[in-house]
Each structure stands twice: as C-alpha cells, then as structure tokens.
Structure 1
C-alpha cells in the first residue's frame, strides 16, 4: 500500500486541494469534509489518480459506525479510512478499504490502550501522533504489529521533522503543511 518515504497531503482547508493534487503522493487525506462535498472531492482526486483516505470521525453528517464505513465505500467511493476506533478500522478492512488505525500518544495509558487495540485490528497501516513524539515508539509498534506500515502525523512542519520521521523507520507521514508536499 505505502511506498517508502511517502508524504501524504492532509487537506484541512479545501483551498489547498489543488496543490495536493499536484504533489507526488498517490494519496490524499481529506481531513475536514462533509457529506455534501465528499463525492465531488473524491471524484476530483480520482481524476488525478490519487487514492482518497478520510478520517471517519471528521466527516460531518455521516454516522461514525460500520454503516458509515459502508456508505463511504459504496456511495462516496473513497479508498480508505483512518480512525482511532478499532471497530471502524476492522469494518473498513472487511469491505476492502484501506484501513489505518490512528494511535494517539497522549500518555502511557493511551499507549498501552493502543497497543491492546492493535491485537484486535486487521490493518493496512498504523498512524501515530504526534510525530515528534512517535519516533520514540517505532520499535515497540513494529514489535506489536510486525510488517504493518507505519505512518506519522501531527506537528510535521519542517523538512527536519520529515527527515527525523523517515530516519526513525516510518513508511509515510501525513501533513497539512502544503510547502512540504
């Protein structure tokens, strides 16, 4: 799914979509969308040969459950889902959407909870946030989920941070900083 050193544009403001479509990334993460514009945005991305990933929790007007995942695929034709909810990730995988588990590293409790969730997830990737902190946990995640591609996100705002993330062993990263795409 993910090539080595892939920078995935995360679109939080639609005014940056055209720049993202010109990027080298084969993926676009639509971070803030609603059901009224998702189909046309997905179509526009597909016309530029980009795969569309959405964060289910950030799609306004859509239920945050397995039915919502099915609607994302069948009605909106997205290619993948990112979510911190293992049930959502597993539902996406079942219907052959790219399934990426988002793991927030807030404290030791959230890390332990995330590690337990990994045991129950069937994934195409794991995104760890925030990236500058995630670099310290790469080996633990690789051990818990061998062979699963790792992504980093959050607070990626300089070329130095990108280099740090890739040197730590991540396959890809997500960033909303258009100058880094």
Structure 2
C-alpha cells in the first residue's frame, strides 16, 4: 500500500481534505486521487470510507478527529478491521507504529509553530517511521519546507491555509511532494 500512496501523491499534487458530508460529495467529483477524512464518528466512518473507495480514490482517516475513537492503538485496530481505509493520519507517533504493524499507510502530522516543534520533527519521524509527513501550516516559508524535506527520508505534504495556485507552487518547489487542503476551489484548479 505504501507504494500506492506515494505514487498517488506524486501523480496528483492536490489532496482533498474533507471536513463534512458536503465536502465529501464535492471531493468525489474532483481529480484528486486521495481524500483525507477529517470528520465523522465511529458509527459513520465505515460508510464515509466506502463512498471514497467506491469513487475510486484512496481514503486516509485522520484518526484523531473521529468522534468516539481514542488516541490508543485500538483505534487503529478499529479502522483496519471495520473500514476499507488505506491508512490513517495522526499526530501521535504510537498510532503510526500500530498502523505500520497492521499494514496501513500512515501520515504523521506536525504543526510547525516554533523552532522547538521544528527540531522535534526529525526525532519523531525516526522513531515512528511514517510513510509520509504532513506539516501545517502549508504556507510556512518555503525555506522551512525545504529544510524539513532535506532532513527527512519520507515524502512531505504541506497542508493548511493553502488557497491559491501560488501557494501550491511554492510548496512543491520547496520540496513538498503534495499539498492538502479543505479549500474546495483548490481541488478543482
């Protein structure tokens, strides 16, 4: 599965991040090949993932945002056992490790808010070994994106606050393999 995720990220540089049912429906009509699920609850997540899979797209569930799932490894087990998700997104390194054990793709999400956060990225990636890293906000200085991309051995997605073609181009030119956004207009650029 890891190869499929990396190939999809390289093939289509825009990932649709959906935060509600309306956004989900719109994302299915986009050319985005990957959809990040940022909403839902434990009862509804299987059907959300099914819609994405039926649309021929990869589904990655932001496990930290699903109501009723805890920050424990059992939440990853639930996603693996009861959904057809291709992988998870999380801010928790232990959940990335569990996803790897279960054969799910994993994206470790970081918020780059200061130099301490920046310094922790490399250490946490070495320990957790995610397939991909997502850093937010995606419109941070290209110099910082470039620094992170050079220091890691995994693909980097720039996410958050990306709303214009120039934002996409700046992130990609700095070394990000892709961008993720909830901005529906960007899905159709």
Tell me the TM-score normalised to structure 2 length. Answer: 0.89
Q: Alpha-carbon deviation of 1:37? A: 1.4
Contact 2:35/2:60, CA 8 A, preserved across alignment: yes
CA RMSD of aligned residues (A): 1.4
For the residue of structure 1 that corresponds to 2:30, the secondary structure is coil
Contact 1:5/1:170, CA 8 A, preserved across alignment: no
For the residue of structure 2 that corresponds to 1:99, the secondary structure is strand
Q: Alpha-carbon deviation of 1:103? A: 1.3
In 1, distance between residues paired with 2:97 and 2:141?
23
In 2, distance between residues paired with 1:177 and 1:139?
23
Count matched residues: 180
- The unaligned stretches of length 5 or more in structure 2 are 1-5
1:22-49 deviations in whole A, cap 9, x for unaligned?
Answer: 1112211110111121111111111111
For the residue of structure 1 that corresponds to 2:140, the secondary structure is helix
Cα distance change on mapping 1:136 and 1:4 into 2, 3 Å: farther
1:151 matched to which residue of 2?
157
In the alignment, structure 1 residue 120 sits paired with structure 2 residue 120: no
Q: Alpha-carbon deviation of 1:135? A: 2.7
In 2, distance between residues paired with 1:54 and 1:83?
9
Q: Alpha-carbon deviation of 1:5? A: 4.9
- Structure 1 stretches of 4+ moved >6 Å: none
Q: Alpha-carbon deviation of 1:134? A: 5.5
In 2, distance between residues paired with 1:169 and 1:32?
28
- The unaligned stretches of length 5 or more in structure 1 are none
In 2, distance between residues paired with 1:124 and 1:20?
23
Match of 1:31 among 31, 35, 38: 38
Q: Alpha-carbon deviation of 1:140? A: 2.8
